[in-house]
Structure formats: structure tokens, C-alpha cells
Structure 1
Amino acid sequence: MSLDPDLLADRRRLRRRLTLWRGLALLAIFGAIAFVVASRAPEGLPGVQHVLRLPVSGVITEDRRVLEVLDRAATDDNVRAVIVSIDSPGGTMAGGESLHAALARIAARKPVVAVMGATAASAGYMIALPAQRVFAREATVTGSIGVLLQTVELSQLLERWGIRPQVIASGPLKDQPSLFRPLTEEGRAALERVINDLQAQFVAMVAAGRHMDVERVRPLADGRVMTGRQALEAGLIDAIGGEREARTWLAAEREVPASLPLRDIETRSRAERLLSSVTESVTKSLLSEWLGVDAPRAVWQPPR
């Protein structure tokens, strides 16, 4: 016995409507629970002794929430050590400096180890410098000690198109560099002074972090990248290895048991984490219901 098409369509619409309201109700309930938990439970790092891991990937910029967690970790007795797990090609000078400073504050109180992944170059290398021990894979791309400023100048192209930009600046260097006119000699000299000062800061960080003379660092700070093996030979890292070797070193040299749990830094509040988990669960539930009702399917069925 087959159902009337209109009746079948009504049943499907009703089923979808019930599923939607069921999901919204669950979301509201768990949202209220998250609010209560967040308002009553104190924020902070977990209350069990552990090793804290800071994953750093992609472009490095200044992240206020990460810096706050690191500053709490510096004074939290439950954090026995910090592992900085790096897979980054670099980032802004200020972003690297802020992480470098936060990790240096921790290193003054407890062990910090850096573990380099596929890439830890430029600012990605900078943030490894406060660590008491730096590990890298033999194939890690690292180094690239240097600072750059890139721009583009389109004056000839704009002239060809008949476009004449009008710029009003408070001084001759205010629009340097500019898209609309070439760098002047004065402008280039001013920007080179900025880059050279930033480079001197970077070189000083390397010299302090690697316990090397500045004169020894300068030849290495020409922007070149190195493999992990080359960096080891140059003194820019301490050993070849990964997280396993880092835990072994912490246990042998800093008496941080390898049995301690490893926990990633979490910058979201408890409410955010709970709400995210609930939203993900509800979304999966709704998707499952939808697929079970009348979703299109790519299924081959043999002819009858």
C-alpha cells in the first residue's frame, strides 16, 4: 500500500519542523548550562600537574588571549614545563617579540623546550629562542634570521591608464612607501634605518638565546634558511628530535616526569568550549536527521 504523495510530503515537512525545534531546544538547554558553569567555575589552567604545550602554526601575530594564558602559566605551580610546538614560516616582528617575551618570562621560572616541525623560520625561529633546549627535525626548514618590508609601486601603470592619484601628506616621508610614486632617496634611507634597527633587535635575541657573540650571529643573519642539520651545526638549535625527545630531556635534565599529562593551551573560556561542543553535537544530530528524512542520496540500486 503506497502513501498519497501529498500526505507523504506533509509528513516530511512535519518531521523536519520537529527536528529543527528539537535541536533549538537542546541548544537552549545546553547554552543555559554553559552559562551557569561559566559563572560559577573559576577560569584558569587545569588543577592537575601537567606539561603545557603551546602550538604555534601559520602566520605569527600578537594574540592577547595567548599572552594572558602564558602569563598565568608562569606562576601556576601545576604547570611543570612548557613545550612550544612550532610550525610557522614567521610573521610580524611585533607578534614574534610578544611571544618571545612571554616565553622568556616563563623560562625564568620553569623549563621551556621548543620543538620545531616542518617550518620554524624568521619569527617562527625567534619564538624558540627563550627555550632552554631547542629540537628540530633533520628536514626542518629554520633560520631565516632577518626582517623585510615589501611594497609595490604602480605609478607607470596608473599613468598608462590615465589615472593621476592626488596625495596630501603632512611631510615628505608620510607617504613613503607609496603605491603612487617611487621611493625617494630620503624615503629609502629612512625605511632602511627602520629595517636595520629591527634586524639589530632580532640579532640580539639570537645572541642572547643561543649564548653566542653578536659577531658570530651576524654572518648567519643574512636571511638564509637552513635545514635542521645545518642549524645544529651552526649552533642555532641544540638537538635533532621531536616531542618525544623533548619529554625525555625534561625528565632527565629538569626532573619533569614523562608520565605527566600533556595539555594544549586553550584560550577559549569554559562556556565557549561547552557551547562549541554542544553546537557541534546538535549540528551533527540535525544533519543525521535530515539525511534520514528526504535528503538526496548518491546510491546505486540495481534495477528490479
Structure 2
Amino acid sequence: MTDDPDFAHAVPAARVLRRARGRWRLVAFVALAVAVLALAGRFALPGSGNSDHVARIVIDGVIATDPGRLDAIEAMIEDDAVKAVIVAINSPGGTTAGGEELYDALSRLREVKPVVATIAELGASAAYMTAISANRIFTRRLSIVGSIGVYYSHVDAGKLLDTIGVDFDKVQTGPLKAEPDLDDPMTGAVRQSLQRLVDDSYEWFVDIVAERRGIERDTVLELADGRILTGRQAVAAALADAFGGEREAIVWLEQQWNIGEGLPVFTHYPPAEDGLAQLLRYAGGQALSLVGLGGGSTNALDGLVSLWQAENLVD
């Protein structure tokens, strides 16, 4: 034994610290277990025992092509237990190809089962393209809707590369191959080529809005200048049908299709995200959001984009 008074005080302090750490570990474990159980209830696997239900598919974040999501939609088409589908949208849009993929897949689904879209905070650009595939669109009065349009963005880093002494050279088969280039300003010919690309995608977008929403094409063109609308404005312009969310969607299914009364609503996920993987992804996303890192990045998008770009719009 030592007679050092500092050591005598340090020993019980260390014991208290160990006990405190043990208690915090127990609290953390219990909190994690409660969270997992709560999430498990929220993300119950759909169609257990092939019981009849209304399916929910969530479209959030930045939209891009997704084979797994297509598989989930195709499974809903084939699943007799799925009586109707709610498409829960909260997205600023994404790539035009990703929006087209969702529009086509949900249109196939709509041919065999009623599909209702609900727009939460955001249903813009490619997300609005997704919404119009539904039989009916519900939006909150102050949701952001619309932004019908397409763009292509390009960074000219030539001056920066010159500053740091980096030079690129290439051999190409034609003047438009591999254009626009990172280290060269966009030429008139390249700009015209890209404008034709954007215009062709835009014309298709306008056409399907006019067709699906039953609006004269000239009227759609007036709205399709990239502007965003509130849900109130969208309903007034016939870009959406009614105010509300999932509860109103279920009431509409009951009244118009005699579907949904008493049926549970289950979220369907891509096969790779069923069960624990989905719980962990959701929990991880919530954790990132708490430290300001949530949300999909738009920086990695390549090609034609139909995306409303606004950061942190809050009241």
C-alpha cells in the first residue's frame, strides 16, 4: 500500500468513473434497442403472410436511376396482396433519366392498380415528373411543387488548371466528341448541341404534363419556365388535385375505389434494403441529419438534370 494521499483519492474516483461508464453503456444499449424496436414497427416488412394491404413507396432525396427500386415496383405489380399504392414524395428532383424511369414504372403500375401520389415539403422537377404518373396528386398547401424544366451544367476549370500548371490534351473523332471539356470554354457549336439535347428532354416533359394533367399544352408551357409553386398554386393551376397527405389519400381510395378501409399501409423497399439494412440506413441518415450532413448530394449528378436547387429553405 502507498501512503500517497493523491493515490488514495484517485482509486475511488476511478471506481466511480468505471461505474458511470457502465451505466452510460447500459443506457445507450437500452436506447438503441428501443429505437430499433420503434423503427421495426415503423418499417414493418410488407405483405407478411400475403395479407391484403396498401403499399407505400417512398421517393425522397435526389432521384437517379435505381434498379432495386424498379424491382420493388415490379413486385408490387405482381403482388395480388397489394390493393393500391401510395407514392410518398419529398424530393427536389434529380436526373431526367431517373425521373423518366420512375414515371414509366409507376405508369405500368397504374394500369393494374390505383396509384396516389402525396407531396410533402418538395415535389419538384423530376419528382413532379414522378407524381404525374399517379391517378391523383395530393399536396400540402405550402409544399413546393413544379419546377418543370431541364438543365445541363458544366464547369469551365481552364483558368484554374492554367494557374496550377496542369494542361490537358486529347485526340477526338469529331469536334463534338468529349465536349464540353473541363479545360476549355464552351464553343458555340457545343452550346447549340447541348441546347438541342435540353430542348428535346424539355419537350417530352411538357408533353407528359399536358397529357397526364389534362391541361392545354400552351398553358403548360406558360407554367414550365422552371418556376416553383406552392401547393395552393399548383392545385389552382391543375398541376395537383387536392390538399392533404396520406390520410386524405386513403380516404380517396376508399371513396373512389372501395379500397383501403381497414387495410394496413406497409412501406415497400428495394430487396437489398429490406429489414435490418433499411433500419440501419434510416438510423444512419437521422444521425447524419443531426450533425448537418443529411440529404443527398447533387454534386455527383451527371448528364441532364431536372432538379430544383435551393438549400435549407425554412420558415
TM-score (norm 2): 0.71
Matched residue type, 1:273? G
- Listed as ranges, the gaps of 5+ residues in structure 2 are 1-7, 23-44, 281-315
In structure 1, what residue type is equivalent to 2:220? Answer: V
CA pair 140-274 structure 1, distance change in 2 beyond 3 A: closer
User: Contact 1:153 / 1:179 at 8 angstroms: preserved in 2?
Assistant: yes
Partner of 2:238: 235
Deviation of 1:166 (Å): 1.7
Please name the residue that 1:49 is paired with: 52
Could you report, residue by residue, the CA deviation over 1:119-165 in whole angstroms, capped at 9, with x for unpaired residues? 01000101011111101001100100000111111223333444332
Change in CA separation of 1:62 and 1:275 when aligned onto 2, cut-off 3 Å:
closer
1:211 aligns to what?
Answer: 214
Q: Which residue of 1 aligns with 2:151?
A: 148
Matches within 5 A, 1:8-47: 45-46=47-48, 47=50
Alpha-carbon distance in structure 2 between the residues aligned to 1:87 and 1:221: 20
Report whether the alignment pairs 1:114 with 2:94.
no
1:179 is displaced (CA, Å) by 1.4
Question: 2:276, 2:247 → 1: CA distance?
Answer: 31
Letter aligned with residue 88 of structure 2: S
RMSD: 2.9
Residue pair 2:89, 2:119 contacting (<8 A) in 1 also: yes
Equivalent positions of 1:70-89 (< 5 A) are 70-89=73-92
Query: Aligned to 1:258, which of 254, 258, 261?
Result: 261
Aligned to 2:171: 168
Alpha-carbon distance change, 44 to 136 in structure 1, aligned in 2, over 3 angstroms? closer
Describe the superposition over 1:4-37 as per-residue Cα deviations: whole angstroms up to 9, x where unpaired.
x8xx99xx9xxx9xxxxxxxxxxxxxxxxxxxxx
The alpha carbon displacement at 1:250 in A equals: 0.7
Flag the 1:105–1:154 CA change in 2: closer, same or farther, 3 A. same
> What SS does the aligned partner of 2:170 have?
coil
Alignment partners' CA distance in 2, 1:106 and 1:276: 23
Cα distance in structure 1, aligned partners of 2:220 and 2:277: 48
Q: Which runs of 5+ in 1 are unaligned?
A: 17-42, 279-304
CA distance in structure 1 between the aligned counterparts of 2:94 and 2:266, rounded to whole angstroms: 25
Task: Map Cα deviations across residues 62-110 of structure 1 (whole Å, 9 max, x no partner).
Answer: 1111111211211322111000000000011111111111110111111
Whose Rg is larger? Answer: 1
Identify which range, 105-114 or 214-223, moves more after superposition: 214-223
Compute the displacement of 1:201 (Å): 1.3
Q: Report whether the alignment pairs 1:59 with 2:78.
A: no
Out of 95, 108, 120, the position equivalent to 1:105 is 108
More deviation, 169-178/221-230: 169-178
Shift of 1:269: 5.7
Q: Give the superposition deviation at 1:185.
A: 1.0
Cα deviation digits, residues 247-280 of structure 1 (max 9, x gap):
111111111133100000122369x6268889xx
Q: Secondary structure at the match of 1:127?
A: helix
Q: Corresponding residue for 2:199? A: 196
Conserved? CA contact 2:142–2:230, under 8 Å: yes
Instruction: Give the 3 Å change call, closer, same or farther, for CA 175–101 of structure 1 in structure 2.
Output: same
Taking the aligned partners of 1:274 and 1:230, their CA distance within structure 2 comes to 40
What percent of counterpart residues are identical? 40
Work out the number of aligned pairs and report it.
247
The alignment's TM-score, normalised by the length of structure 1, stands at: 0.74
- Equivalent-residue separation in structure 1 for 2:161 and 2:74 (angstroms): 50
- Among 136, 140, 152, the alignment partner of 1:137 is 140
Partner of 1:123: 126
